Amino acid sequence: MKILVTGAAGFIGYHLCEKLISLGHEVVGLDNINDYYDVDLKYARLNELGIIRDSISFNNLVDSTIHGLQMQFVQMNLQDEMELPKIFADHKFDIVCNLAAQAGVRYSIEKPMKYVESNIVGFVNLLECIRNFKVKKLIYASSSSVYGMNVKVPFSTDDNVDHPISMYAATKKSNELMAHTYSHLFGIETIGLRFFTVYGPWGRPDMAIYLFADAISKGNPIKVFNNGKMSRDFTYIDDIVNGIQFFLAKTPNENSLNSSNVNYKIFNIGNGNPQSLTDFISAIEFNFSLKSKKDFLSIQDGDVPHTWADISQLEGLGYNSTTGITEGIQKFAAWYKRYHHENN
Ligand SMILES: NC(=O)c1ccc[n+]([C@@H]2O[C@H](COP(=O)([O-])OP(=O)(O)OC[C@H]3O[C@@H](n4cnc5c(N)ncnc54)[C@H](O)[C@@H]3O)[C@@H](O)[C@H]2O)c1
């Protein structure tokens, strides 16, 4: 299949490109390579795909030096309504996987317009291209953050998600609503995947595991919010990517949210096994053979104390996450040490 992966220089998008190439698909990656976090890490991920930094410029398609025409990349803003249709005109995509977004809960409180630009305007622009160029299927990243302050656990796709507590969550919920509209009006199959705290090699520097590893290895204190009374359904990157791949070929006859729209689907992808933050920190300490210094702080605005994915819907379809934190953190730590050793 020919697949457009947006957010290809990002954490999950990069891993998805690697997976799709290994399966023999043709991939066009798109990313604006914004500086929300260290761009060197984004270029390093692209380099792994054979996309060389010096060859990249805005709105120009480049071929992979490793995979040739099987992996191409374009630096582009999703919200650029003049340029985005050109990519669709030049390629007949079977599927679009939208992983590009302005991520991060806390940053969305400081810079809400960044979220409106990428996650709202960019998403509608993408939907319009999918509609106009008759792409049959859209798989897009939603988030566990849509569950907001819900207290009933585990979080189920049947639960009410009308109470987001950050702009990030509000934009992700908006994506689901807009996907519903386009599925209904134009018969596009849309699959929204609510990811739960993803971690692993090539991960994001603004996320807890990376922040903790960085601080612990440098002897700096780590910030432990809500005085450590937090738990997360940490999900290893391979389980997320395998989950996306599961939906590429499949059209599961499973419709969530009791919608009458058969083309519209929402699923959780989580581990289904939440871990306390303190256990998570201990596992990182173990892998770095160092003890952390902890600054205990109150919970941050926009953040929730607990997440836990109800994964019964996916299990029912035959998909399971298989990586626990012992194995997952060990793989992250091995990558972190190698990457920082090579880049220092
Ligand atoms: N990592 C997680 O734990 C997690 C959890 C839930 C949901 N998600 C969602 O999964 C997706 C991928 O997340 P990630 O962790 O890989 O984040 P990431 O920030 O590493 O990747 C997103 C990429 O999108 C690009 N991008 C942002 N705005 C863009 C725009 N307007 N046009 C083009 N490119 C743009 C960025 O440059 C970045 O490389 C996002 O939609 C995110 O909201 C991630």
Q: Given ligand 1 and candidates 31, 39, 236, which is best to mutate, with the most ligand atoms within 8 Å of its CB?
A: 31
Mutate to test the pocket of ligand 1, among 6, 12, 123, 303 (most ligand atoms within 8 A of CB): 12
Q: Given a cut of 70, is residue 192 above it in pLDDT?
A: yes
Query: Of 249 and 98, which is predicted with more confidence?
Result: 98
- From 106, 141, 91, select the one nearest 36 (Cα to Cα): 106
10 lines ligand 1 (CB under 6 A): yes
Nearest-atom index, ligand 1, CA of 79: 31
Residue ranges of domains in the chain: 2-198+235-271+310-322
Q: What is the pLDDT of residues 83-132, one digit of tens each?
A: 999 999 999 999 999 999 999 999 999 999 999 999 999 999 999 999 99
According to DSSP H, which parts of the chain are helical?
11-22, 39-48, 84-90, 107-110, 112-115, 122-132, 167-186, 208-218, 237-249, 277-288, 312-317, 325-342
pLDDT at residue 257 in the model:
59
What's the 290 CA to ligand 1 centre distance in angstroms?
A: 31
101 touches ligand 1 (CB under 6 Å)? yes
Tens of pLDDT, residue by residue over 39-89, are 999 999 999 999 999 999 999 999 999 999 999 999 999 999 999 999 999
Whole-number Å distance between alpha carbons of 164 and 184: 24
Q: Is 16 in the pocket of ligand 1 (CB under 6 A)?
A: no
Q: How confident is the model at residue 262, as a pLDDT? A: 84
| Predicted model pTM | 0.98
Nearest Cα residue to 240 out of 136, 141, 312, 334: 141
Average pLDDT over residues 302-331: 95
Catalytic residue, candidates 14, 115, 168, 210: 168
Around Cβ 224, how many Cβ atoms within 10 Å? Answer: 19
Other CB atoms within a 10 A radius of the CB of residue 311 amount to: 24
Closest by CA to 236, choosing from 320, 307, 302, 169, is 320
**Structure tokens that stand for 181 in this block:** 């509209």
Alpha-carbon gap, residue 240 to 12, rounded angstroms: 8
Ligand 1 contact, 126 CB (< 6 A): no
User: How remote is the CA of residue 83 from the centroid of ligand 1, in Å?
Assistant: 20
Those residues with Cβ within 8 angstroms of residue 342's Cβ, 6 or more apart along the chain or in another chain:
none
Q: Nearest C-alpha to atom 21 of ligand 1 is from which residue?
A: 10
Beta bridge partners of 96: 4, 138
Q: Under 8 Å CB-to-CB from 169, ≥6 apart: which residues? A: 105, 143, 145, 146, 148, 302
Residue 174 in contact with residue 146, Cβ under 8 Å?
no
Active site residue 14: no
Architecture of domain 2-198+235-271+310-322: 3-Layer(aba) Sandwich (3.40)
Express each pLDDT in 128-169 by its tens digit: 999 999 999 999 999 999 999 999 999 999 999 999 999 999
Average pLDDT over residues 244-255: 79
Q: Are 118 and 103 in contact (CB under 8 A)?
A: no
Tokens 């596009």: give the residue: 188
Q: Taking 80 as the threshold, does the pLDDT of residue 217 lie above it?
A: yes
Q: What is the mean pLDDT of residues 19-36?
A: 98
pLDDT score of 255:
55
Ligand 1 pocket residue status of 9, Cβ below 6 Å: yes
pLDDT at 256: 56
3-state secondary structure of 40: helix
